[in-house]
Amino acid sequence: MEESVKDKVRQILTEYLQANGHRKTPERYAILDTIYSIKGHFDIDTLYHYMETEGNFRVSRATLYNTIVLLIDANLVIKHQFGTSSQFERAYRNETHHHMICTECGQVAEFQNTTLREAIGSIKLKRFTASHYSLYIYGICSKCVKAKNKKTNNIKSK
Amino acid sequence: MEESVKDKVRQILTEYLQANGHRKTPERYAILDTIYSIKGHFDIDTLYHYMETEGNFRVSRATLYNTIVLLIDANLVIKHQFGTSSQFERAYRNETHHHMICTECGQVAEFQNTTLREAIGSIKLKRFTASHYSLYIYGICSKCVKAKNKKTNNIKSK
DNA sequence: GTCAGTGCAAACTTTTTGCAACTAC
DNA sequence: GTAGTTGCAAAAAGTTTGCACTGAC
């Protein structure tokens, strides 16, 4: 299953590159492969290090930035913008999910909700062709709630 | 109405500062006032220039960054992360809305949808205390669809 | 052979930080 | 008077860009 997904996305990339007059460089396929080996979200720096360790392929950060743009355009990667650096995740056969982001520690957790997915899916927008969406729910995770309560109590008891 | 909102948020800020042992500096009130004069989203740079022109108050960017953190913590400002720089908007008495973001030109439009708002509002999350959320729908706005079609046609006709 | 793509380093942008001066309390 | 804040400038972090070299076509 995993390998067949990788084959499929390689094929999609090939078609995309051909259709848009881009070259089929080994870097692009290596980057795509590595991305589809990562399960959750990643940023450029993480991907950079993953490339060498997991993918056994050294590329420059510049190439990663360049390639990511192509992959997003080819609908193979989705870009997120929580935290300080851009986060990405694979797009092909990646189940729809939403994000809970802790405003204290920055931790990102995913969750699924069918009702919500259907509600969002059925929206009709005027003058806009939707391709994908991101729902970020901000709040405080249970760990940080505990930490914060401690802190508050300390202040109060001063 | 506008002025009463400003009074109210000033009061909320005062309470927040007092409760957390922060000082009531003129900078903080001037920044809050300027923010509540801005209708849509803004980034730090926009706010910086607005402060001088609209608010007649000069503050450093560092102070803006510092103050924004407080205002977010006081639930008076919401932070977004589309585009290259962080975007903000007022939180108090700001109607719930969702965002359409054009992946071509970066334009951000807002829309409202009751069904959706209720669906999101009724979600129960485990081990997470939600405070607010952001729904970003990515796609292509009508202007860019037209521009893109032209471009594609040009390539094809080469 | 040609030109898109790559690697590298420098440049740029946004945000954070250190420190002296200032001021709310 | 003192410690929290501010302004400034330097530093940091993430991303983009210019340019020479490389390799896909």
Q: Would you say A108 and A82 are in contact if contact means Cβ atoms under 8 Å apart?
A: yes
pLDDT in tens, B111-154: 888 888 888 888 888 888 888 888 989 888 887 777 656 555 54
Give the model's pLDDT for residue A158. Answer: 33
Q: What is the DSSP letter of A1?
A: -
Q: Are residue B107 and residue B130 in the same domain, yes or no?
A: yes
Residue found under tokens 């009074």? B7
**Is the per-residue pLDDT at A104 higher than 50?**
yes
Same domain? For B64 and B130 the reply is: no
Domain boundary (B62, B94, B126) is at B94
Residues A148 and A128 in one domain: yes
> By CB neighbour count within 10 A (0-12 exposed, 13-18 middle, 19+ buried), where does B72 fall?
middle
Asked if strand D comes closer than 7 Å to A94 Cβ, the answer is: no
B100 in the same domain as B84 = no
CB contact under 8 A, A123 and B140: no
Write the CATH number for A153. 3.30.1490.190
Top-ranked range on mean pLDDT: pick from A52-66, A76-90, B100-114: A52-66
Which residue, A44, A79, A94, sits at the end of a domain? A94
Query: Number of folded domains in chain A?
Result: 2
What's the pLDDT score for residue A87? 93
Residue A154 has what pLDDT?
46
Residue A156 has pLDDT above 80, yes or no: no
B27/chain A closest Cα distance in angstroms: 25
Q: Report CB contact under 8 Å: A155, B21.
A: yes
- pLDDT score for A150: 56
User: Same domain, yes or no, for A118 and A75?
Assistant: no
Contact assessment for residue A141 and residue B139, using Cβ atoms and an 8 Å cutoff: no
* Cβ neighbour number for residue A2 with a 10 Å cutoff: 8
Query: Does B90 lie in the same domain as B29?
Result: yes
Residue A155: which pLDDT band, with cuts at 50, 70 and 90? very low
Strand partners, B134: A136
- Shortest distance between the Cα of B100 and any Cα of chain A, in A, equals 8
Residues of A in contact with B21 (CB under 8 A): 155
Residues A78, A138 within the same domain:
no
Residues B80 and B110 grouped into a single domain: no
Same-domain pairing of A74 and A100: no
pLDDT of residue A157: 40
Higher per-residue confidence, A103 vs A16 = A16
> Same structural domain for residues B3 and B28?
yes
The residue out of B94, B127, B147 marking a domain boundary is B94
Residue pair B54/B41 in contact (Cβ under 8 Å)? The answer is no
Domain identity same for A28 and A80: yes
Give A119-135 pLDDT, tens digit per residue.
888 888 888 888 888 89
Residues of chain B with pLDDT under 70: 1, 147-158
Residue A115 pLDDT greater than 70, yes or no: yes
- Gap between the Cα atoms of A16 and A32, Å rounded: 13
CATH number at residue A6: 1.10.10.10
A158 vs A34: which has the higher pLDDT: A34
Alpha carbons B36 and B91: distance in angstroms, whole number: 9
Write down the pLDDT at residue B143. 79
Same domain for B26 and B74? yes
Tell me the two tokens of residue A61. Answer: 């950060």
pLDDT at A149: 61
Note the pLDDT of residue B115. Answer: 86
Query: Could you list the residue range(s) of the whole structural domain that residue B124 is in?
Result: 95-158
Mapped to the 3 state alphabet, what secondary structure does chain B carry?
A: CHHHHHHHHHHHHHHHHHHCCCCCCHHHHHHHHHHCCCCCCECHHHHHHHHHHCCCCCCCHHHHHHHHHHHHHCCCEEEECCCCCCEEEECCCCCCCEEEEECCCCCEEEECCHHHHHHHHCCCCCCEEEEEEEEEEEEEEHHHHHHHHHHHHHHHCC
CA distance B82 to B136: 9
